[in-house]
Amino acid sequence: MNVDENDLLHPAHRLQNTYNEYKDSADWLLAEISIRPQIAVICGSGLGGLADLLSDKITIPYEKIPGFPKSTVPGHAGKLVFGELSGKPCACMQGRFHFYEGYPINEVTFPIRVFHLMGIETLIVTNAAGGLNDDFKVGDIMIISDHINLPGFAGLNPLRGRNEERFGVRFPCLSDAYDKTLRQMALDSSQDLGYQDFIHEGVYCMLAGPSYETIAESRMLKILGADAVGMSTVPEVILARHCGMRVFGISLITNKVVMDYNSQQKANHEEVLQTSRDQAEALQSLISNLVGKIN
């Protein structure tokens, strides 16, 4: 039997988990639930209330799931909820994992390959983000059209290491990372709900965190073409696309990024959570309406 040296390392020192570790987690979950989810939703900071909209819920804490890390950030409940949303069987992550929590990047993205092996074909990612675009206001919603993986410029990519062909090709294309059809359906949903005045499309930029960006960094990101900035989402999107899943992403603009050295404003997580609570209903309605349109 051929054994890859990666398989012999302690999980904290691996570049990737093994295929069997993902499969064990997927098989365990499928044995625990009666439904077969088609769509997975990852809830960002303060947005976990979306899971409360599911009917016939089955809730499983992350710590019970083989291989799953534990969420440690306020606003992330750390539960996987299964049920129906707008008539579609869904899995909803109440809280995600972040690189800044100390997890290696393969642990941050662990659930994505598990979802793929469970038969999930569509991934919806949500996050709280700082607004870089001058036209964005606090409480606005941005449909993600593209992203800038700034940590990836330094090699922080979840696909680094041995490629597992059972998931996808060695060099996946990301020019179509965010599904155009799903984006248009979301724009249609915003019209249905009367949300068009605070819905935008734009480019999301990921930083590793946990410190917020400096003014110089914020100005640089704006020059690069970013409309919003946050500390998550991109690693999950990369792995989902590697698996061939369709992806839809959305950012809730929870604060305006400080660009002026004379400003007295300071970014803080409490503001992020409060804005998330204030706009939770609108974002949940938008996603529910979108899910109802997905074939």
Q: Please pick, among 106, 218, 232, 251, the residue that the annotation labels catalytic.
A: 232
How confident is the prediction along the chain (295 residues), in pLDDT tens digits per residue?
A: 444 444 444 444 566 789 999 999 999 999 999 999 999 999 886 677 888 889 999 999 999 999 888 766 555 468 999 999 999 999 999 988 888 888 889 889 999 999 999 999 999 999 989 999 999 999 999 999 999 999 999 999 999 999 999 999 999 999 999 999 999 999 999 999 999 999 999 999 999 989 999 999 999 999 999 999 999 999 999 999 999 999 999 999 988 898 888 877 777 667 666 776 778 888 889 999 999 999 8
- 282 catalytic? Reply is no
**Which pLDDT does position 274 carry in this prediction?**
73
Q: Please pick, among 269, 271, 285, 288, the residue that the annotation labels catalytic.
A: 269
pTM (two decimals):
0.90
Q: Please pick, among 25, 255, 276, 289, the residue that the annotation labels catalytic.
A: 255
Q: Please pick, among 185, 206, 228, 231, the residue that the annotation labels catalytic.
A: 231
**Residue 294: partners with Cβ closer than 8 Å, 6 or more residues away:** 38, 39, 88, 122, 182, 185
- Cα 255 to chain centroid, rounded: 18
Q: Please pick, among 76, 147, 200, 242, the residue that the annotation labels catalytic.
A: 76
Q: Please pick, among 62, 98, 236, 251, the residue that the annotation labels catalytic.
A: 98
- 76 catalytic? Reply is yes
- 269 catalytic? Reply is yes
- 200 catalytic? Reply is no
Q: What range does the domain containing 99 cover?
A: 5-293
- 178 catalytic? Reply is no
Q: Please pick, among 40, 51, 128, 186, the residue that the annotation labels catalytic.
A: 128
- 45 catalytic? Reply is yes
CA gap 192, 289 in Å, rounded: 9
Burial of 193 (0-12, 13-18, 19+ CB in 10 A): middle
CATH at 258? 3.40.50.1580
For the chain, what is the domain count? 1
Element (H, E) at 83: strand 79-85
Q: Please pick, among 100, 121, 217, 288, the residue that the annotation labels catalytic.
A: 100
- 206 catalytic? Reply is no
